[in-house]
Amino acid sequence: MAPLKSFSLLVPEIKALLAEQEFSVLKDVLKECSALDLAECWSDFSHEQRVALFMLLGTKAAIQLFESIDIESQRFLLNQLNEEAVVPLLEGAAPADIARVFHRLPERAVKKMTSLVKREEALQKIQKVMTFPQNSAGSLMHPEFVKLLPKMTARHALSILQAVARPHEKQHLFALYVTDESGKLVGASTLQDLVSAPEDATLSDLMTSTELVKVSAHTDQEEVAKIVAKYDVSSVPVVDEENRLMGVLTVDDIIDVIRHEATEDIAKMVGTKAEDISARSAFRIARLRLPWLITTLVGELVVSIIIRHYEFTLSKIVALAAFLPLIAAMGGNVGAQSATIVVRGLATGQILRRNMTREVLKEFRVGVILGVCYGMVLAIMAFVLYGDRFGPLFPLVVGMGMCLSMIVASTAGAVEPFVLSHFGVDPATATGPLITTTTDLISTSAYFLLATLILL
């Protein structure tokens, strides 16, 4: 199994073999490669090359590759592959992966794909996952799990696990849940518990409670990730309204969720979307970024109007303009820092919405400390550069402008995520352009107002 770095060196060779149509040689080369490594380099190949490579893979490697590539690549493959190649994929890939792609396909295409699935069991699993909204626990779960009853002994349970555990389903042995006769969840166990317990010990004595870690099938994936992080568990049971076990989410699924949510939040913080990272079209990227940049444009136009309102002050003391970019930039940086901390705290559950006052006051105090420190530094620099040319109070105004800017930015950066969260808007959108624009509006107004009142 070639490591990623060595596999990346094989990419030119693989492309050459494809160009020369040396498919038998290429098939042998791919047998020695990991599907995960191929997935990492998938974007290095053209669309035509991807289809050709996929057709050369064995069924097991093809399924592993399909589950590892991004959703757009998955959709492309399903649209391009022939029926002979698609059927094993639909029947062998994780139902959650298939459902995620189906959610983005036209209804007509989904009906055509599902009609190709011959195995009734595979079709039922896909349809079960498809009934739940995208990014919910139900849409991500594995609907297959080992059914264990409280009255079973450890020896009996182990014999069942040995009988049902096929090579490609070993991961399900790490998520063992106990249900009653009607399928209602009553507890959880582990393979380690069963192996180390006396043979005649019953699961009712060995199992642990799942009350704190079970989730509804409609629970958002971000909430599931919080539960996994909080209770440090490797799997989460998914139940319906009557507490019947419907499926299992493993830590691998949660890692994918955390990566997706982190990417989404980072993109939102700078006023774009997660698709921007993988998009290749310049027009598509520009379209994703346009909305928030329009917000920034409008906000900064208002700043220009404010500056125009103080033209008389600027004409008398033109040196005020020299410090304006610095004051605005420092305020924007502090605001972004505060907002990032609050947004991340809200996302992980470390900061609760009911603690808004405490968090805002904390960031306000941080802003005061930073504002006083940097305000004094800037006041000294203003005196060094201009002396008393504009009067002895000029350095004081510049320093106070810096101080106010940082206090306002730090406070606004803490308040806006809470406000957006209260109105059901993702708080990640509070950072970036919004914080910068808010800070510029308030700090510019305060700066010139101080200059007008004190210096004129």
Residue with tokens 């409280």: 150
Res 2: pLDDT: 44
Contact 420, 430 (CB under 8 A): yes
Res 109: pLDDT: 80
Which residues face 281 on adjacent strands?
A: none
Q: Kindly tell me if the per-residue pLDDT of 37 is higher than 80.
A: yes
Res 400: pLDDT: 93
pTM above 0.95, yes or no: no
Determine the longest span between alpha carbons in the chain, in angstroms: 93
Res 232: pLDDT: 82
Res 78: pLDDT: 84
Query: pLDDT for 118-138, tens place per residue?
Result: 888 888 888 888 888 888 888
User: What is the rounded distance in angstroms from the CA atom of residue 127 to the CA atom of residue 88?
Assistant: 17
Residue with tokens 């055509």: 112
Query: pLDDT for 402-419, tens place per residue?
Result: 999 999 989 988 888 888
Query: pLDDT for 261-306, tens place per residue?
Result: 666 666 555 555 555 455 556 776 677 667 767 877 888 898 889 8
* Pairing relationship of beta strands 235-239 and 215-216 according to DSSP bridges: parallel
Closest CA to 93 of 48, 52, 54: 54
Please name the residues in contact with 271: beta carbons below 8 A apart, sequence gap of 6 or more.
Answer: 289, 291, 292, 293, 295, 296, 432, 433, 434
Compute the chain's Rg from CA coordinates. Answer: 29
